[in-house]
Amino acid sequence: MIRPLLWLLAGAVLGGIIHIVVILTLPALAEQSLWTRVAEVEADNRMVILPPVQAGEPNPLGLDPELVYGLCRVDLAQGPAYVSGILPDAFWSVALFNQSGIVTYSTTNRDGIGQTLELGIFNAAQTRLLAQQQLDVAEGLLVVESASDKLLILVRLAPPHQVMRARFETALTAVTCGTRG
């Protein structure tokens, strides 16, 4: 009686281990990741406005159709990255994604930033230079340290009404994004 229960327990434990290993390795084996999908957008060191999501159309990035999205891809190995601009007086957010698609930093205008977005993104070595005052940064710059060099910067704007969407897209095109070597 004890022996079959031990076999069942061992089978359940082994099945659990196999299940966990498969779940953790599948994202690494996926051919289509967030990073590869965005690579087609050509957003290296510049803000690109993503086309609006239409009802019934494919939405591979899982975007909210009510928001306006700007995307920029940077490589901190080329130097610190900066995002700068004046955004509309409505809700907006900025998120940094690493190559695995994980959000490594996020902020909104509700954090007391207001309409002005001044963000400096540095890797660990650049942050050390910043601390030693070997890099000059503008006053009021929000400094963010990133553990990875390759990042996607996603800016989301929430127009209160659809008729304001074009104005919000125009404001987002004026945002500068990229490394300054």
The chain-wide mean pLDDT, for the chain, equals 85
CATH of 34-179, one of 3.30.2310, 2.60.40, 3.30.70, 3.30.420: 2.60.40
Find the angle CA(36)-CA(158)-CA(42) to the nearest 5 degrees.
Answer: 25
Express each pLDDT in 94-110 by its tens digit: 999 998 888 999 998 87
pLDDT at 126: 86
Q: Who contacts 63 (Cβ-Cβ below 8 Å, separation ≥6)?
A: 50, 53, 69
- Give alpha helix (H) positions in the chain: 2-29, 34-39, 124-131, 165-173
pLDDT at 78: 92
Give 179's pLDDT tier (boundaries 50, 70, 90).
Answer: confident
Q: Tell whether pTM > 0.85.
A: no
DSSP structure class, residue 164: G
Express each pLDDT in 109-124 by its tens digit: 877 677 888 899 999 8
CB contact burial 69-107 (16+ within 10 A = b; e otherwise): bbbbbbbbeebbbbbbbebbeeebbbbbbbeeeeebbeb
CB contact burial 7-35 (16+ within 10 A = b; e otherwise): eeeeeeeeeeeeeeeeeeeeeeeeeeebe
Domain limits, the chain? 1-30, 34-179
Express each pLDDT in 76-93 by its tens digit: 999 999 999 999 989 999
Express each pLDDT in 29-51 by its tens digit: 666 666 666 767 788 899 999 98
What is the β-pairing status of strands 68-75 and 150-157? antiparallel
